[in-house]
Amino acid sequence: MTDRGTWVDQALREHEEHARQAGRPAGAGTDREQQVLDRIDRARKRRPRVREERITMSHGSGGKATRTLVEAVFLDAFRNALLEPLEDAAQLHLNGSRVALTTDSYVVSPLFFPGGDIGDLAVNGTVNDLAVSGATPLYLSAGFILEEGFPVADLTRITGSMKAAAEVAGVQVVTGDTKVVQKGKADGCYINTAGIGVVEHDVSLGVANAQPGDAVIVSGPIGEHGVTIMLARGELDIEADITSDTAPLNGLIAELLSAAPGVRALRDATRGGVATILNEVATAAGAGVLVSEDAIPVSPVVRGASELLGIDPMYVACEGRLVAVVAGDQAEAALAALHASPLGAGAAVIGQITDDHPGIVLLRTAFGGTRIVDLLVGDPLPRIC
Amino acid sequence: MRFVDEFRDADKAHALAAKIAELCEPGRQYKLMEVCGGHTHTIYKHGLEDYLPESVTLVHGPGCPVCVIPMGRVDDAMHLAAQPDTIMTSFGDMMRVPGSQGSFFDAKAAGTDIRMVYSPLDSLKIARRNPDKRVVFMAIGMETTTPSTAMTVLRAAAEGLDNFSIFCNHVTIIPAIKAILDSPDLRLDGFIGPGHVSTVIGCRPYEFIARDYGKPVVVAGFEPLDILQSIYMLMVQLAEGRSEVENQYTRVVPWDGNLAALKAINQVMELRPYFEWRGLGFISHSAMRVRPEYARFDAEMLFDVPGVRVADPKACQCGEVLKGVLKPWECKVFGTACTPETPIGTCMVSPEGACAAYYNFGRMNRRRVDVSIS
Amino acid sequence: MCLGIPGEVIEFLPDQSDLARVDVSGVKRVINIGLLADDPPEPGEWVLIHVGFALSKIDEAEAAAALQFLEGIGQAYADELEALQASQIE
């Protein structure tokens, strides 16, 4: 299965080596605990390797396994300066213009859910990836993989949604592709959209830009898309009044960037939720992120469903929420700009960037204690977008 | 959220923490064991240890039913899942537990039909909807969960289902606590008693701990204030030299437990003569199996289960962590070879395992909350 | 695994005496109340839910008593803090 034997042995050898270097055997006290924690930090920074022989659902969850797969397989194969930042969109220079390029595939199940359908996600998701890169989204491609037997009426419904979403976002679908696979594959309909946009603003956004003193802002209540999908699957016999938050954020972002030029980074919180983004910021910037549980907006329904199922809303997908890292002195202006728009009505400052505990995301609980918010292992809610 | 939010109030936490600090005798160290995995999880999730004085240490015990399943039983379950025309159903926490050939999660990736369920009743639903398949429910959990499995079997019997069975790995908490108490390498001052197990078994079963071993027990709820209050109640007993069983979780736990639940368990299941607990070895009368009258719902009767005992990997120190002898970070492979993504043992793989809780939530410099008044 | 959360009973299911619909913070779910057959809950009462079953009723009086104890401690603490502040001013 995996070469568990060899890397267990290696870890043991490392431990012995470390103990020898430290010059003393296992002793008591926090010093030794700190040594262990340092050793773990070093282990976490090691070159990523995919240990599994087969792809598992974890690889699609947006958490640790996804990141390892991307770094160890895709980045390794395609490595170049444009890919390495691994941001939501690549920043290209074409004949003097700055152009952003992104792609996303949509495999959500069920296809239709309260608040939207796979078509809405396919347009809004890609528009948002461009918008958080500082680009004005312009054109999309749309590739469809359809299952034999899929009702044409459903396809028309989906393209109708895409048309409406494109209009709201101000983009056009200018090229596409269609493939059909046998019954049993593609689960009805999979869609891939790629998008390009022009970066007009004089901003350079990137999670690596975050600095101590910056504020972390979220544009509204979290976890709504994920919980909607979970309930829409109908396996859990749970009823609740909740809809997906899928929405195009380019308008909101344009307002934000005008009002607060000190925005360092923007991300849209999809798979893996807000927690995943916070970790990406901490890692890329080599800084600490400290957020306050009290400050994170969560609707009562999302809280209730999460408690019922034992999941943490911080890891639940959104499809119309952004996380912004903003220079501390511009946090007020940023918040005001967000509040001025319906999509940003619930925006809040949830925390800040610190120089304490670099690379780690800490949460001050409502209770007053502190704990780590790490990347997700495994996948509580598969096929969420 | 009602009955939840009120018990997460930071101000009250400060007050309780101050009281706990006051009760600490100078120069004395206090070691309190919390037995229940749910408590371990809450403590770390809310950063509760930040409120405790240096002299009070919480030790995490073997109350995580996922953590104590030996590798051999996981292998047996994987064998069941691999049978033709069989659907294995399991709680989420079991999906990543490693046997010697990998976990449910790995098997699922390789094509085995294993489905995650939130309730044994979901498993029953799958059985109804798939009459041509045999559906097996991986039944794990302590007394909190055992009645639900029992009720599900009774339901299956009432409906005359012939394609549903359980692979019974339910364990009971008392023998494990006794094993801890009898363990020579451990010194404990008191116990934070499992809250939800007690809704079923009541508080009486813990009386032997206070009476025969002289250790106070406080049955605790799961919100952070419940646990802090329970610690406070233990410290009061210790300061007053008492050792009694007290119930902090009175809003949910009846002193006599839930008779209907105990009856259901008793109707469907009986105690095994002995059962292996990972890290603790064989403990007599510590686990349940299906009674002969319900053999048609017993996966071990319907299928041929290998039943091979598998020793833990040499590097694994889960046993010592489960007994509270080692802290998670003291395990040789903690955080390097053994991480939540690449777990060697169950303490790391179960979200309630002490190692997973520490790695995911607590792995950083302790930031003590200042509760001092003087 | 010990995951048990409080929910309010809304109604019983008409044709199935051991099933009830509960509300958890606006989320509704049908659960089995067979384990409370000796003293079934009424709509409006709260129960502890675990893996789709109600394990126990939540005693509102006891919950109130627990909170009162905590309030008491909280008040005493607040009083002491105040006293300390006051004495520091001098």
d(CA A314, CA A350): 12
Closest residue in B to A357 (Cα–Cα): B364
How many angstroms separate the CA of residue C32 from the nearest CA in chain B? 9
DSSP state of B49: G
SS3 B156: helix
User: Is the complex ipTM higher than 0.95?
Assistant: no
Residue A268 pLDDT grade (very low, low, confident, very high; cuts 50, 70, 90): very high
Q: Using one digit for the tens of pLDDT, what is the confidence trace for B73-117?
A: 999 999 999 999 999 999 888 888 888 888 898 898 888 999 988
Cα–Cα–Cα angle for B358, B364, B370, rounded to 5 degrees: 105
Task: Give the mean pLDDT of A208-231.
Answer: 94
B91–chain A nearest CA distance, Å: 11
- pTM across the whole model: 0.84
Predicted local confidence at residue B189, as pLDDT = 94
pLDDT along chain B (374 residues), means of 10: 77 87 92 89 85 90 85 94 95 85 87 90 94 96 95 96 97 91 85 95 96 96 92 96 95 94 97 90 94 97 90 83 83 87 80 83 67 54
Mind listing the pLDDT tens digit for each residue in A328-358? 999 999 999 999 999 999 999 999 999 988 9
The whole-number pLDDT of residue A51 equals: 81
Distance from the Cα of C69 to chain B's closest Cα (Å) equals 10
B14: DSSP letter: H
Minimum Cα–Cα distance from B225: chain C residue: C70
**Do the bridges between strand C53-57 and strand C46-50 make them parallel or antiparallel, or are there none, so unpaired?**
antiparallel
Q: Work out the average pLDDT over A370-383.
A: 72
What percentage of chain A exceeds 70 in pLDDT?
A: 89
Asked if C2 lies within 8 A of B195 by C-beta distance, the reply is yes
pLDDT per residue as tens digits for the range A71-86: 999 999 999 999 988 8
Q: In whole angstroms, what is the distance from residue B212 CA to residue A82 CA? A: 69
Per-residue 3-state assignment (H helix, E strand, C coil) for chain A: CCCHHHHHHHHHHHHHHHHHHHCCCCCCCHHHHHHHHHHHHHHHHCCCCCCCCCCCHHHHCCCHHHHHHHHHHHHHHHCCCCCCCCCCCEEEEECCEEEEEEEEEECCCCCEECCEEHHHHHHHHHHHHHHCCCCEEEEEEEEEEEECCCCHHHHHHHHHHHHHHHHHHCCEEEEEEEEEECCCCCCCEEEEEEEEEECCCCCCCCHHHCCCCCEEEECCCCCHHHHHHHHHCCCCCEEECCCCCCCCCHHHHHHHHHHCCCEEEEEECCCCHHHHHHHHHHHHHCCEEEEEHHHCCCCHHHHHHHHHHCCCHHHCCCCCCEEEEECHHHHHHHHHHHHCCHHHCCCEEEEEEECCCCCCEEEECCCCCEEECCCCCCCCCCCCC
Interface mutation target, options A3, A6, A8, A381, chain B, most CBs of B under 10 Å: A8
Give B-chain residues touching C38 at CB under 8 angstroms: 259-260
Could you say which of B6, B64, B373 has the minimum Cβ distance to residue C1? B64
